[in-house]
Amino acid sequence: MTALAAQPSPDIEGLRKQAARIRGRVLEMCHASKSAHLGSSLSCVDILTAAYWHVLNVDPKNPNDPERDRFILSKGHAAMAIYATLAMRGYFPEEELATYNQDNGRLAEHPPANMLPGVEAATGSLGHGLPLGLGMALAARIKGEGFRVYALLSDGENNEGSVWEAAMFAAGKKLENVCIVVDYNKWQATGRSNETLALAPLRDKWAAFGWDAHEVDGHDIGRLAEMMANVPNGSSKPVALIAHTVKGKGVSFMEDDNNWHYRAPTAEEVAKARAGLGLV
Amino acid sequence: MRNAFADELTKLGQEDPRIVMLSGDIGNRLFDRFKEAQPERFFNCGVAEQNMMGVAAGMAMNGLRPLAYTITPFVTTRCLEQIRTDAAYHEAPVTVVAVGAGLSYAGLGPTHHACEDISFLRSIPNMVVLAPGDAWEVRAGLRAIMQQKRPVYMRIGKKGEPVVHDGPIADFEIGKALTLANGSDVCILSTGNILPEAMEAGRLLDAGGISTLVVSFHTVKPLDEACLRNAFERYERVVTVEEHSVVGGLGSAVAEWAVDASVDTRRLLRIGTPDKFFKLSGTQKFAREQLGMTGHQIAHRVSATLRERDSAA
């Protein structure tokens, strides 16, 4: 693995095409398996693309390198998106994506523990990923390893008390090598996230909890790539990126429609969606 | 027991750079020597046990050997999902250390009582469940834990309990019970901080002509099956004693084993706390008396069951 060098400017057009290919895969996986969480998977694809194709210091051929950056999909229900991302990044063969949610496979509806290369933590119960990541970040400090820890949270996940326990802990221990991205798609499973609990103002909350908190367009891959790469950023604080996203992003007839939290698309809908993404 | 834990941990911390101590804002001054020796490996995690347990798991997944410590209910039921999902499911070698086992903190009330923890913890896959019987078992148990590569739950008492062993235990093994008094009629299997009362019960039974074997059954999971098989084959009564509910603790574990092993389950007598909250104020001694857990009461119950059998015969 190469040492962290100055990051080149992101290849935005290349990243956009990659994100479209991931979305196309996710749509196929969802259709084939008739599983839930399509909207939640589509909303975070640009964040995953920026992370895995620009930000993270990782080597898919050496997935257990102690010095690798850690990326935790704390919103484990977006498993389809992380599986497609990891496969396309080279952690395991893309053909294995066809086994998603099938009998006797490694790709369950939430990421498994100690089974799939690239999956740093088994998630699915919300509010676990950040505390795990903070333990990893402290391990880096104790052992003198220079890696960074990223965790992708959902906005609904911010309902969990453990998230705010972790928020105070990270700030208290000055874990500046930690970065969270909140996939703020404005929906949770059964309602608007700001009507369910009082989430807003979310950036201000994270800032008040001692984080260097910023808002960002969660579909602006270039901006995401730059901001996520800039960790630690000199503030001596952990970094929170509140990424404004659209649930179901990339498919016109799914965007901001929460029915796609649970619905799976028909073959016709997949074809239409893929065409809209510019995929054949 | 907690002072022995802190002292042994301090020694281990100097020997093993992987050891990290996480406290849930508890143990005022208890860990001063550890902190002094290893300031970069002690973390007061605040009153935030879910996060503490997740942090511990994250550390353990990256080569460290963290211990997460606070009062029993807060380090078990408060963060049970983190123990299950973050530590046990990932097979992360976290050591959960619960202080105030059973009725150790009787006077603090049922919020601080801990008579259900073994039940929860032993049902989780990959967990080892340890309940040392005195300060020497705490020290030996802690050293044995650090040789494991699995998540472990260890419940300890408070401070000042009577010491049962004469000194350091050379042959302590996780999953291997320790014989403390020999006998041929009755076998008492004691787990955890009730051990001094079990020893007293053994002495009283011996004095009354009932020869009693007393075993410190310090590991509730995995069970020492060889010890159990021997007990059910050779003793008229096998008595489990624990400062824990009769629901789900050592007695339940032994009963489950006995049914599966097709031994004579009529020989089993389970002594533990009843399936209810103990709401009265008072000391641990008072609570034990009220719940029939003193050495004298244990001996009385054992001899009563033997008399029932004799009169039925």
Q: How many angstroms separate the CA atoms of B164 and A176, rounded?
A: 49
Residues of A (54-73) whose Cβ lies below 8 Å from B: 66
- Token couple for A102: 């099938």
Which chain B residues have a beta carbon less than 8 Å from that of A122? 85, 89-90
Q: How many angstroms separate the CA atoms of A200 and A206, rounded?
A: 11
Q: How far, in Å, are A209, B16, B152, B258 from residue B10 at the CA level?
A: 33, 10, 19, 40
**Which residues fall within 8 angstroms of residue B226, CB to CB, at 6 or more apart?**
none
Burial readout A114-148 (b: 16 or more C-beta within 10 A, e: otherwise) = eebebbbbbbbbbbbbbbbbbbbbbbbebeebebb
User: What is the pTM (predicted TM-score) of this model?
Assistant: 0.96
CB-based contact B90 A169, cutoff 8 Å: no
Give the residues of chain A that fall short of pLDDT 50: 1-5
**Which residues fall within 8 angstroms of residue B131, CB to CB, at 6 or more apart?**
B101, B118, B154, B155, B191, B192, B193, B218, B219, B220, B242, B250
The CATH architecture that domain A12-276 belongs to is: 3-Layer(aba) Sandwich (3.40)
**What's the order of all strands across the beta sheet hosting A178-184?**
A70-73, A149-154, A178-184, A239-244, A212-217
- Token couple for A152: 């992708």
Looking at residue B313, what is its pLDDT? 62
Which chain A residues have a beta carbon less than 8 Å from that of B13? none
Q: Indicate the fold that domain B178-312 takes in CATH.
A: Rossmann fold (3.40.50)
Q: How many CB atoms lie within 10 A of CB B223?
A: 19
Contact between B225 and B257 under an 8 Å Cβ cutoff? The reply is yes
Looking at residue A6, what is its pLDDT? 54
**Which residues fall within 8 angstroms of residue A174, CB to CB, at 6 or more apart?**
A236, A237
Helices (H) and strands (E) in chain B, counts: 12, 12
Give the residues of chain B that fall short of pLDDT 70: 313
Q: How far, in Å, are A251, B35, B217, B243 from residue B288 at the CA level?
A: 66, 35, 20, 9
Looking at residue A169, what is its pLDDT? 98
Q: How many angstroms separate the CA atoms of B6 and A207, rounded?
A: 37
Contact between B310 and B217 under an 8 Å Cβ cutoff? The reply is no
Phi and psi (nearest 5°) for A170? -60, -45
Q: Indicate the fold that domain B2-156 takes in CATH.
A: Rossmann fold (3.40.50)
Domains B2-156 and B178-312 share a fold: yes
Q: How many CB atoms lie within 10 A of CB A28?
A: 20
Q: How many angstroms separate the CA atoms of B105 and A98, rounded?
A: 55
Task: Kindly state whether B39 is in contact with chain A, defined as any CB-CB distance less than 8 angstroms.
Answer: no
**Which of A113, A139, A173 lies at the smallest CB-CB distance from B89?**
A113
Pairing of strands B212-216, B178-181: antiparallel
Task: Kindly state whether B55 is in contact with chain A, defined as any CB-CB distance less than 8 angstroms.
Answer: yes
SS3 B283: coil
User: Nearest CA to CA, how far is A102 from chain B (Å)?
Assistant: 21
ipTM for this prediction: 0.95
Domain boundaries of chain A, sorted by first residue:
12-276
Q: How many CB atoms lie within 10 A of CB B311?
A: 7
